[in-house]
Copies of this chain bind each other. A is one copy, B any other.
Amino acid sequence: MTNLKGKDILHGNQFSKKDIEAIIKVTSNFEKELKKKDSLTLLKGKILATLFYEPSTRTRLSFETAMQRLGGGVISMGSVESSSVAKGETLMDTVRTVSQYADVIVIRHPRTGSAREAADAVPIPVINAGDGTGQHPTQALLDIYTIQKELGSLKNLTISMIGDLKNGRTVHALAELLSLFKIRLYFVSPSSLRMPEEIINHLKQKGIEIEETEDMLKASNASNLIYMTRIQKERFTDLSKYEKLKGSYIINEEFLKKLKKKMTILHPLPRVDEITPEVDTYSGAAYFRQVRNGVFVRMALLSMVFGRTP
């Protein structure tokens, strides 16, 4: 039986297929519960600390909402500029300090591996909300939950991941998790933003069928679901390169018309212009439902690390 009590949530690969199925189940229960009432009292008295060293609205607010809907409280470091980081404090000292206040820590930090270091430094559970180009496991889990919910199952799917597959930690973690299920993947990107070789090799070793292509339409028409990503300006040092690439793949009404069947479209958001606003009313556009699912998944994870599922 899956037991996350007292555990850290750091990396997609810490989860077995059984774990993910258990998380989906708990998530689904919370989704049903929240249709009946505004919030629960499972984590009453517990305190969540959010430590975000990079800009974020979505992930931080999603966790803060999840915690409050579970009856818990929140403390937040606020912007880096207004914190003791400005006095030269190390990440480890900040984390150790905050672990004296809170019962669980959610951290986003630009350096890969930082979340694991933080987790090693403190006795309370640490949840990785993104460590640079590394991992962002709760995003991957909410993506999985959304796929399962939108398509009814995780079996025999073909999924196209499109955009910046090189720097996009979201697609790395999601591909990792999806590899636990029998799935086919299309990786659609400009050649300079291809999925890293080691991830592809790793997935292939696990028996996942992968096809790399630059042809978004062909891949989409062969898929059950499109996972679109943003070309992330903040990962480029050469902005002219960014300007050249950012329009590579765009989903708009014209593209929708070329699709042979109804398509489910996910996106981790924020988007810039890779999905135009006219697409939002398309019934397969599931990216805002995906946002909402994030709250339910995080409620599940928070309740599970405290060993207090409904």
Residues in chain A within 8 A of chain B (CB atoms): 37-39, 44-47, 49, 52, 55-58, 61-62, 64-65, 68-69, 73, 75-90, 92-94, 96-98, 100-103, 230, 232-234, 269-272, 277, 288, 291-292, 294-295
Contact = CB atoms under 8 A, between A and B. Distances in A.
A149 to B, nearest CB: 14
A80 B272 CA distance: 17
Contact of A87 (B76, B85, B233): B233
A93 B269 contact: yes
A272 B85 CA distance: 10
Nearest to A273: B88
A98 B38 contact: no
Given A45-B38, A93-B269, A61 B98 contact: yes
Given A78-B82, A82-B52, A270-B89, A100 B288 contact: yes
Contacts of A64: 75
A2 to B, nearest CB: 24
Contacts of A101: 61-62, 65, 291-292, 295
Contacts of A55: 81-87
Contact of A97 (B58, B86, B94, B232): B58
Contacts of A97: 57-58, 269-270, 288, 291
A292 B78 contact: no
Contacts of A100: 288, 291-292, 294-295
14 contacts: A38-B45, A38-B47, A38-B103, A39-B44, A47-B68, A55-B83, A56-B83, A57-B84, A57-B85, A68-B73, A68-B75, A89-B271, A93-B269, A101-B291
